[in-house]
Amino acid sequence: MIYLKNYINGELVEPYAGQYLENIDPSRGTVFSMIPDSDANDVQKAVEAAEAAEEAWANLHYEKRAAYIEAIAKGIEARMDEFVAAESLDNGKPLSLARRVDIPRAVSNFRFFATAIQQQSTETHFMEGLGVNYTLRRPIGVVACISPWNLPLYLFSWKIAPALATGNCVIAKPSEITPYTSYLLSEVCKEIGLPKGVLNIIHGLGPKVGDALSRHQKIKAISFTGGTATGRTIASIAAPMFKKLSLELGGKNPNIIFADCNFEKMIKTTVRSSFENQGQICLCGSRIFVERSIYDKFKTEFVERVNALSIGDPRTDVNVGAIVSQAHYNKILSYINLAKEEGGRIISGGEAYIPEGDCKEGYFIKPTVIEGLAYNCRTNMEEIFGPVVTLTPFDTEKEVLMYANATEYGLATSIWTENLSRAHRMAEKVESGIIWINCWLLRDLRTPFGGMKNSGVGREGGWEALRFFTEAKNVCIAY
């Protein structure tokens, strides 16, 4: 049995209370490791270590900070196979997906911000004949990064890298459901000799460790990715303490398909945007709106391709792996039942899948396609975050905009059309922080990333992240 440890003050240490939680391989339903059940005492130790490291790290020349961050990227690359296997085991995602997306992207995140910090500049504002202002950007101090289970190291590093690059000391908490690759990251940080206290990684439950981070007086900013309800809880604690907050929350993303689209490109991408990572990507399009004139053609071809997806042991060559946990598996199945109660017709999947052999106790759900639901029923309003999509026909641009904007969320939208004017018109009106036209998940790390409405507050990515993790001071000099 693997016992994971916290990473505090440059050392791998046991949790203060000596308690551990079980960590489950969702493809087999068995415990494969134990993780620290940390509490406020562990957070306190990490904050003390971070405070002790703060001044030296903030004042280290940016090229030296960048070199440490680049060394982390190289350290992950050097252990690529181990990281890939750990991510797949912990999360249930196909090994091929972890190899193609998760771990290379974590490497890119560190590399991107190691470079970005070397290109950062600040503004000056000139007052004719009077003087000049310049903007000084300084690190905030000790900051917290809290991340979810769906893209474990990918999202964890997306926060940690800019926080470190800008000179902050970090207390990071991975999801208790997928802690393994963040533990491997702490080994890499030790190997490359990252100065002690600069990054601290604490494992454990949200209501214990996450709550202690939200409440700690010395933590000045929180970058959080996770569910909307958790974001609300964190904001209710941290906002009255005037902490800086970046909240990346849930979604219920529309995928809008016009009859004039490039059909082959659209359908291929739509299968991916519906079911990649078992539909557990915050950017997956779960509400598919199709212009009525191609609805039947779309439905037939889509269902055919969905039925052809292979599902099973994530270590083999499959398209769809296991759902991340039993609780989440039960939640998804309950939404499939709700869809039936609401009058939905299941036209593909709609039930659990039980593989032969080794994985028969795992948490698998067949990719599910449902039609016949009202645009505003619960199935179409609430985030399911699994391999479940609904199909709804529409007749006009106005109608589909109303459907698309009907939820409380506003994270991502895909629009499929070859009509340039319509694409721009829709992009302006659709309520989403991220809009993809004729593509999905085409990511440029320099662009602003985040959601509107209940999908979040603030933006990550590129300069946005460097700005979030710094305090801007205006320095005004009169002649």
Residue 71 burial class via C-beta count within 10 angstroms: exposed 0-12, middle 13-18, buried 19 and up: middle
Q: Rounded to whole angstroms, how far apart are CA atoms 272 and 256? A: 15
Binding status of residue 230 toward ligand NAD by CB under 6 A: yes
The SS3 assignment for 189 reads helix
Q: With respect to ligand NAD, which residue has the nearer C-beta, 209 or 347?
A: 209
Range in contact with ligand NAD (rule: CB under 6 A) among 53-61, 120-128, 249-257, 307-315 = 249-257
Q: Kindly determine how many residues on this chain lie close enough to bind ligand NAD according to the rule CB under 6 A.
A: 31
Q: With respect to ligand NAD, which residue has the nearer C-beta, 137 or 443?
A: 443
Among 123, 207, 265, 395, binds ligand NAD (CB under 6 A): 207
Token pair 């490109």 in the structure block, residue: 265
Residue 207 CB, nearest approach to ligand NAD (Å): 5
Residue 327 burial class via C-beta count within 10 angstroms: exposed 0-12, middle 13-18, buried 19 and up: exposed
> What backbone phi and psi angles, to 5 degrees, belong to 133?
-110, 145
Adjacent-strand bridge partners of 370? 346, 390
Q: With respect to ligand NAD, which residue has the nearer C-beta, 91 or 417?
A: 91
Decide if 359 is catalytic. Answer: no
Catalytic residue among 176, 248, 460, 464: 248
Binding status of residue 456 toward ligand NAD by CB under 6 A: yes
Angle between helices 180-191 and 80-91 (to 10 degrees): 160
Catalytic residue among 282, 291, 431, 460: 282
Q: Rounded to whole angstroms, how far apart are CA atoms 346 and 339? A: 9
Residues 366-385 that bind ligand NAD (CB under 6 A): 383, 385
- Token pair belonging to 446: 């320099």
Residue 148 CB, nearest approach to ligand NAD (Å): 3
Residue 247 CB, nearest approach to ligand NAD (Å): 8
Angle between helices 397-404 and 420-429 (to 10 degrees): 30
Residue type, 257: I
Token pair 């690059």 in the structure block, residue: 165
Q: Rounded to whole angstroms, how far apart are CA atoms 71 and 378? A: 47
Decide if 439 is catalytic. Answer: no
Q: With respect to ligand NAD, which residue has the nearer C-beta, 294 or 389?
A: 389
Among 170, 194, 198, 411, binds ligand NAD (CB under 6 A): 411
Residue numbers at the binding site for ligand NAD (CB under 6 A): 146-150, 155, 173, 175-176, 206-207, 210-211, 214, 225-227, 230, 233-234, 248-251, 282, 383, 385, 411, 451, 455-456
Residues labelled catalytic: 248, 282
